[in-house]
Every structure is written in structure tokens, then in C-alpha cells.
């Protein structure tokens, strides 16, 4: 990914950048667009412009993709049903608690307590609730997360996983359901998206809960050819996933996009020179970028990435195999999952803004004890550059963007994942009821 994402321009606030996927001549929006071969006049003009610079392979791949999914904007490509089982949620919470624990029900960090000490306290508390003595006494170890307790926003990503055989996966281990045909544009990366919760009230009465039987319908919304700043080509694919309970009305819409590029020639996909993996990088000398509020320093271990891959049934080799990531795709190491970082950004907002925590039974509580509740309306996010296993990075609230409060009792916050040098890895904008 670092080969095709231009470096972020720094101006004003050190790591703030409004451009989506800067340097890609990429204008991503979240409007549902038809991908029918029959194009209106404006799109015909754009198509003619594309044919002026695009290769025959790229044009054929786009046409083949559109032909395959011609009616998929209104007709689902797939419909799956899944029970939100307690064991899967338990395993996901164990994994994420080790990375970024949720808050305490009895308040925030003590006066004089360092950030690292506070994180250690939170981690110890949550691990005790999920796998320690508290988990044993509450019955979680035997029975999992209690039935009908709330599913935290983004936890749905561990369900409705790809239902394809291993023999149908790509050479990189990825699900090829939405790959462009032709076998040319095979390098896939998660680019961005938007999640919307459609509850008609602030009380979030239609939230997902442990034990619910949900349906998921997947629609293909859009496919486009994009020209890179280096003259290369990529295909951008948008899908829409709708989730609902027993009735026909969706309670959540999850739009996401992938970019597909050509495989790197062997001569250019040389292994990146990177330091040997150590059990834990030195974090003591790192300071958060100026303007990042509630900063938390993270780094992902290969074990974290393996566990998240397993929970999401994702065999993509860039997350699991250093030789593949470095020698075939030109990365510095195995890549942290985009959905994992998205989940951590939402989790960070929930902990430090909304007061999210787990109670002694491992149930997710979506607000502070006796305080106001923030129910998420939407999360819009962009992946800007990769981060690799064992590389430290910060996540926090973007202090350069003032919190916005509307007349409809909604708040907006921007949450960032940032490298120590100030480069933004991922940005998410969260709108919530208050």
C-alpha cells in the first residue's frame, strides 16, 4: 500500500489531512451509484475519458465486473443468516481487551497516574472480567457473554464471514468474491466506508444483541477505474451490506470499499528493509503528536493479527505471512487489518467520550454509570496508509477539529490512528445522539 499512497502533506495541525487517499486522484463518496453498462450521458463522457488513458486489461476488468454484478445494486449478491453467539463475542472481546481495554465503571484515571499505568489497570480489570477469577465466578468461562446483552458497534465484523472453500481463495488467501475478473487486478486493500445505525430513537431499542438471529444482504453499488499519480491503474469497488432482525427493515447499513491493483513485478516487490521483530518495541521514549486528545499508544503483535484473522475467517496473507507481505507485495511486514483499526478507533471513542465499559458479567454497557448515553448514528472512515506488526502508533481524538453539536442533539468527533512521525493511518468521524 505504501507504494501507491502518496505521503501526506503536512500543514497547520501536524497530522490533519482532509484528502481521502491523497495522491490517488480519488474522490470517494457514499452515494449509491448504478453500475449498469447502460450509462447516462455524463457517465458516458467519463467512460470515454477513461478509455483515453486506461489499458485494455483495466477496461476489460471493469466491464467484466459490471457485467457480473449488473443488477446487484437493487438485488442482493448474497443473503446470509447468522446467530450472534456468545462464544464468538467472548473471543473477540478477549482479543480486543488485550489491545485497547474499555473504561472503568467507577470513573477515569487517578490523579498522578501515568497513561501507561492507567492502560495497565484497565487491561487487568477487563481481562479479569473476561478470563480471570471474575470470569470464573460469574460463569462467563463456562457460558460465554450473557444472552441478550448488547453487541458493541463494529463487533458485527466478526460475523457474516466469507463462506467460501479454501480452494476458492486467491493465491494470497483472500476471498475473491468481489475481485475484478481476468486475474490481473489481484492486490486488494480495504480503503474506507461508512456504517449507519438506523434506530429511530435515541434509546437504540433495535440494537444488536447476543443471541439475535440476523440477516445480512450484500449489494454491489459501484465500480470505477482510477488513475494513480504514478500513472498506474486501480479498480475501486463499493459494496453495501444491510443487516436486520426478523422483519424486513434493516437496522444497520455498512458500506465499504476495496481497491484492487496489479500484482507487483518480481523485480519491484523486493523485501523491505525493516528491523527484526522484537517481543515489544521500546515505547518509553515516544510522545503523542501535538493536538491528539486522550492519546493511547498501541502496537500489534503477530498473535493479535492471527487471532483477528481467525475471528473474521480471513486468510489474507498480508496479515499472516511475512514472506508474502514483504517479498510479493512489497510491505515492510505483516499488515494490521483495516477493520481491526476501525474497531479500535470506535472503541477508543466509546471509552473516552461515551463511557463504554464492561460490567462484572462481561456485558457491554454503552455509557457511564448514572451519566448520559451516546448512541452512535454513523461512522465514516478512511484508511490512508498501512501500519505493520510491532510498529507503535497512537490513537486518540483529533483536537484540531472542534467537537460539533447540532440542534438535533447530535455530536461529531474525529478519531485518528497516527504514526509517531505524525502520519495518519486511519481517520474516522463519529456522529452520535446525546
Which pLDDT belongs to residue 48?
Answer: 53
Q: Cα separation of 157 and 318, whole Å?
A: 19
Instruction: Provide the residue range defining the domain that includes 428.
Output: 53-433
The CA-based dihedral angle spanning residues 404, 410, 354, 101, taken in that order and rounded to the nearest 10 degrees: -80
User: φ, ψ for residue 269 (rounded to 5)?
Assistant: -90, 50
Q: Which residue has the higher pLDDT, 373 or 411?
A: 411
* Confidence class for position 307, pLDDT limits 50, 70, 90: very high
Q: Cα separation of 140 and 343, whole Å?
A: 23
Q: Is 432 a residue whose pLDDT tops 60?
A: yes
* Confidence class for position 22, pLDDT limits 50, 70, 90: very low
Determine what percent of the chain is predicted with pLDDT higher than 90: 62
Q: Is 27 a residue whose pLDDT tops 60?
A: no
Question: Does the residue 176 lie in any domain?
Answer: yes
* pTM (two decimals): 0.84
Which pLDDT belongs to residue 200?
Answer: 53
Q: Is 351 a residue whose pLDDT tops 90?
A: yes
CATH number at 330 reads 3.10.129.10
* DSSP reduced 3-state for 322: helix
- Residues 6 or more apart whose CB falls under 8 angstroms from that of 291 comprise 13, 14, 15, 398, 399, 400
Closest to 362 measured CA to CA, from 212, 149, 207: 149
Q: Are 344 and 298 in contact (CB under 8 A)?
A: yes
Question: Does the residue 348 lie in any domain?
Answer: yes
For the chain, what is the domain count? Answer: 1
Q: Which residue has the higher pLDDT, 232 or 217?
A: 217
Q: Is 172 a residue whose pLDDT tops 90?
A: yes
* Confidence class for position 186, pLDDT limits 50, 70, 90: very high
* Confidence class for position 248, pLDDT limits 50, 70, 90: confident
Which pLDDT belongs to residue 267?
Answer: 52
Q: Of the spans 191-205, 315-329, 362-376, which averages the highest pLDDT? A: 315-329
Which pLDDT belongs to residue 20?
Answer: 36
Average pLDDT, the chain: 83
User: φ, ψ for residue 414 (rounded to 5)?
Assistant: -110, 125
Question: Does the residue 27 lie in any domain?
Answer: no
* Confidence class for position 284, pLDDT limits 50, 70, 90: confident
Determine what percent of the chain is predicted with pLDDT higher than 70: 80
Question: Does the residue 323 lie in any domain?
Answer: yes
Q: Which residue has the higher pLDDT, 344 or 245?
A: 344
Which pLDDT belongs to residue 44?
Answer: 45
Question: Does the residue 319 lie in any domain?
Answer: yes
User: φ, ψ for residue 156 (rounded to 5)?
Assistant: -65, -20
Question: Does the residue 281 lie in any domain?
Answer: yes
Choose the weakest-confidence range: 45-54, 184-193, 410-419.
45-54
Which pLDDT belongs to residue 141?
Answer: 92
Question: Does the residue 41 lie in any domain?
Answer: no
Question: Does the residue 42 lie in any domain?
Answer: no
- What is the tens place of the pLDDT at every residue in 47-79? 557 778 889 999 999 999 999 998 667 889 999
Q: Cα separation of 150 and 342, whole Å?
A: 19
Task: Take residue 308 and report the three cell numbers written for it.
Answer: 483477528
Strands 375-383 and 404-405: unpaired
Amino acid at each position: 500500500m505504501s507504494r501507491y499512497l502518496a505521503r501526506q502533506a503536512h500543514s497547520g495541525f501536524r497530522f490533519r489531512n482532509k484528502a481521502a487517499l491523497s495522491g490517488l486522484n480519488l474522490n470517494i463518496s457514499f452515494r449509491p451509484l448504478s453500475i449498469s453498462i447502460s450509462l447516462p450521458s455524463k457517465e458516458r463522457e467519463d467512460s470515454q475519458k477513461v478509455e483515453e488513458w486506461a489499458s485494455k486489461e483495466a477496461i476489460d476488468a471493469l466491464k467484466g465486473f459490471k457485467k457480473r454484478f449488473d443488477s446487484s445494486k437493487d438485488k442482493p449478491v448474497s443473503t446470509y443468516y447468522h446467530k450472534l453467539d456468545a462464544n464468538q463475542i467472548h473471543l473477540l472481546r478477549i482479543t480486543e481487551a488485550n489491545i485497547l481495554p474499555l473504561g472503568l465503571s467507577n470513573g477515569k484515571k487517578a490523579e498522578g497516574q501515568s497513561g501507561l499505568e492507567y492502560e495497565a489497570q484497565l487491561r487487568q480489570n477487563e481481562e479479569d472480567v473476561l478470563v480471570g477469577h471474575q470470569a470464573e465466578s460469574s460463569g462467563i468461562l463456562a457460558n460465554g457473554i450473557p444472552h441478550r446483552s448488547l453487541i458493541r458497534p463494529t463487533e458485527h465484523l466478526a460475523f457474516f464471514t466469507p463462506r467460501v472453500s479454501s480452494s476458492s481463495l486467491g493465491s494470497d488467501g483472500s476471498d475473491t468474491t468481489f475481485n475484478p475478473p481476468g486475474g490481473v487486478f489481484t492486490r486488494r486493500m480495504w480503503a474506507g466506508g461508512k456504517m449507519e445505525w438506523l434506530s429511530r430513537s435515541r434509546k437504540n431499542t433495535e440494537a444488536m444483541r447476543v443471541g439475535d438471529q440476523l440477516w445480512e444482504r450484500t449489494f454491489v453499488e459501484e465500480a470505477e477505474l482510477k488513475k494513480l499519480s504514478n500513472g498506474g491503474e486501480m479498480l475501486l469497488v463499493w459494496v453495501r451490506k444491510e443487516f436486520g432482525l426478523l422483519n424486513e427493515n434493516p437496522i444497520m447499513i455498512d458500506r465499504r470499499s476495496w481497491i484492487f491493483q496489479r500484482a507487483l513485478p518480481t523485480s519491484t516487490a523486493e523485501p523491505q528493509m525493516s528491523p527484526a521483530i522484537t517481543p515489544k518495541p521500546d515505547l518509553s521514549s515516544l510522545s503523542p503528536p501535538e493536538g491528539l486528545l486522550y492519546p493511547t499508544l498501541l502496537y500489534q503483535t503477530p498473535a493479535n493479527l492471527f487471532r483477528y484473522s481467525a475471528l473474521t475467517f480471513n486468510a489474507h496473507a498480508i496479515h499472516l505471512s511475512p514472506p508474502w507481505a514483504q517479498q510479493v507485495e512489497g510491505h515492510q511486514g505483516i499488515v494490521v487489518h483495516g477493520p481491526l483499526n476501525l474497531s479500535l478507533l470506535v472503541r477508543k471513542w466509546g471509552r473516552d467520550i461515551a463511557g463504554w465499559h464492561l460490567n462484572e458479567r462481561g456485558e457491554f454497557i454503552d455509557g457511564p454509570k448514572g451519566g448520559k448515553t451516546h448512541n452512535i448514528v454513523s461512522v465514516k472512515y478512511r484508511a490512508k496508509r498501512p501500519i505493520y506488526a510491532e510498529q507503535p502508533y497512537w490513537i486518540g481524538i483529533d483536537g484540531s477539529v472542534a467537537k460539533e453539536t447540532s440542534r438535533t442533539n447530535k455530536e461529531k468527533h474525529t478519531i485518528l490512528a497516527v504514526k509517531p512521525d505524525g502520519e495518519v493511518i486511519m481517520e474516522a468521524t463519529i456522529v452520535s445522539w446525546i
